[in-house]
Amino acid sequence: MTTRINKFLAVLVVLTCLNSSCTDDFEEININPNLIEKISPGTLLNPIIYEVSSFNATRSNSFTFDLMQVALPFPSASGGVHRYDIGESAGNSTWNTYYRWLANIKEMQAAAVAAEDPNYEAIALTLNAWVYSLLTDAFGDVPMDEASRGDEKIFYPAFNTQQEVYTKILADLDRANALYNTAGGMVYGTDILYNNNVSNWQRFTNSLRLRLLLRVSNKAEMNAETRMAEIVNNPEANPVFTSNEQAAILKITGIPPLISPWGRAVDFRTGRAASAFFIDHLNALNDPRRPKFFGEATLTDGKTKVGYKGIPSGFDSNSAQFDFSPSSPNIALVTAPMIAVLMSYAEVEFIKAELAQKNLIAADAKSHYEKGVKAAIAQWGAEVPADYFENPAAAYDGSLDRIMLQKYLALYFTDYQQWFEYRRTGLPVLPKTEGMMNNQQVPVRFRYPANVQQMNGENYTKAVERMGGDDINIKVWWEK
C-alpha cells in the first residue's frame, strides 16, 4: 500500500467515525500509519472511487476535451491534442493509474470473498469491470488474467484480447447483479459514492452493463442486442438508473479527503478556450448549460462581452486572427464542492433512445431522448426551458445523429466516453481543419507505454502482431 492511500484512509476513517461507532475498526486500520496490515472489504473502496474518479476528471480536461473539440489550449502555436498530435507517452498515466487501482480492486474483492460479503464482492466486480473497460477501450488488448500477480512470481503478464476482456467483465457484471442483497447492507464503513445504498450500487452495475453491451453491439458473437433488451425489459431483475439521484456521480465536498483534483483551480481556466464546435451547438440549442460550462467571450479590450464564442479546434496557430478573447472554462466546475461523473442517468436514457430508434426495444425513442436531455441539463444545476424542444435544433427528428449529438453534450466531463462513443458511431461529425495532423483522422487508441515494450517485450510483441500494430490509428476489436 502506498503512503498516499493510507493518508486518505486515515482521514476518511476519522470522518466516518464521527458519525458511527467504529472504534475497533479504527484501531485495526491505524496500527501503522504507513502500512495497512489487514484490510476489510471496505478499506479500499473509498480510495478507489475517489482516486480513479479524480484521475478521470483531469483526463477529461487534458485529453478528451481537446480531442473531441470541447476545449483547447489558447494560444496554441503548434501541435497539441486538438490538432491530433498525439505523443507516444500520451497513454502512460492512464495505463499506470488504472493498473495501480486494479491491483487494489483485486485485493478488495479477495477481502470480500474471505468475509463472505456478497455486496462488497459485487461492488468490487463492478469497479473492476468499470476500470478494465476504460483501459481496454483506450489501448485494445491488455493484460488481465495474469495482471497484478507479482506475488505469484508473474512479472511478465500475457495480454488478453479485447474480446476476452469484454467477455470476462460482462460476465462479472452479470454475476454482480445476482450477488446483491439489498436487505444485507454494507457494514464496513460508509462509502463516499452512495452512502451505503446497495440498491443504487446495483443500478450502477446494470447501467454499466448497458454501456458495455452497446459498445460491443456490432460484434454478433457477443449477442449484445438480445442481452440489452433483456435488461431493459426486466427492470425488476436488472434495475438501472431512473433519476439523477441514482447516478454514479461522486460529490467532492472540499472537506478532506474529498478535495478537488485541481491543486489550483485557476489552472483549469488559464490558457484554455472553448472549442467553437462544442459551444456553437450549445448556442444553436440556446442551452442553459452554457454559463455552467463557460464564461462569455469578450472583445480584445477584455471588458466588452460578446456572448459565448469559441476557437476552432486545430486552428492554424495564428492566434492574432481572432478579434475577440474566447469563452474560457468555468472555474466553478473544479472548485469544491464539485462533482466527478462515473456514469450518468442521462447516458442510460440515451442508450434506451438508441435501442428504441433501432427497434431493438419496444419503446418511444423520443421520450427517452427527451428524458436524457433533461437529465443531462439538470445534472449540472441548470433548468430546462419550457420551450427547449420547440427549437428545431433540439427537437427529436428520429435520427441517430440527433441522439448522439445530445449524448456527446451529456458526456461532458465523463472520462473518455465522448471519444469512445465517437469511435463506435462516428458521431457527431467533427469538423476538420488544415492545421490538423494525422491525416486529419481522429486517433482511435493510445500506444502502449515504452516501459511495457521494454520490460514485457515478448508479450507486447504478440499483442501488437495480433492487433495489427501499435499505432494510434489501429482500431480496437469492437470498432467498425
The pLDDT value given to residue 73:
97
- pLDDT value, residue 22: 43
- Structure pTM? 0.93
Residue 458 has a pLDDT of 98
pLDDT, one tens digit per residue, over 250-284 is 999 999 999 999 999 999 999 999 999 999 999 99
Rounded-to-integer distance, Cα 351 and Cα 107, Å: 32
The C-alpha cell 440489452 sits at: 228
> CB–CB of 175/195 below 8 Å?
no
356 beta partners: none
Contact yes or no for 115/123 (Cβ under 8 A)? no
| Structure confidence at residue 12 (pLDDT) | 52
For every one of its 480 residues, what pLDDT tens digit does the chain have, with 9 covering 90 and above? 444 555 565 555 434 333 333 434 433 444 445 555 678 999 999 999 999 999 999 999 999 999 999 999 999 999 999 999 999 999 999 999 999 999 999 999 999 999 999 999 999 999 999 999 999 999 999 999 999 999 999 999 999 999 999 999 999 999 999 999 999 999 999 999 999 999 999 999 999 999 999 999 999 999 999 999 999 999 999 999 999 999 999 999 999 999 999 999 999 999 999 999 999 999 999 999 999 999 999 998 888 999 999 999 999 988 889 999 999 999 999 999 999 999 999 999 999 999 999 999 999 999 999 999 999 999 999 999 999 999 999 999 999 999 999 999 999 999 999 999 999 999 999 999 999 999 999 999 999 999 999 999 999 999 999 999 999 999 999 998
At 140 the pLDDT is 98
Quick check: 313 and 82 in contact, CB under 8 A?
A: yes
Which of the 8 DSSP states describes residue 425? H
Rounded Cα–Cα distance for residues 120 and 104 (Å): 13
Which among 224, 165, 210, 206 is positioned nearest to 477, based on CA atoms?
165
Q: What is the CATH number of domain 41-262+336-479?
A: 1.25.40.390
Question: In this structure, what C-alpha cell is assigned to residue 317?
Answer: 496557430
| Cβ–Cβ under 8 Å, residues 364 and 358 | no
Spell out a b/e string for 131-143, using b for 16 or more CB atoms within 10 Å of the CB, else e. bbbbbbbbbbbbb
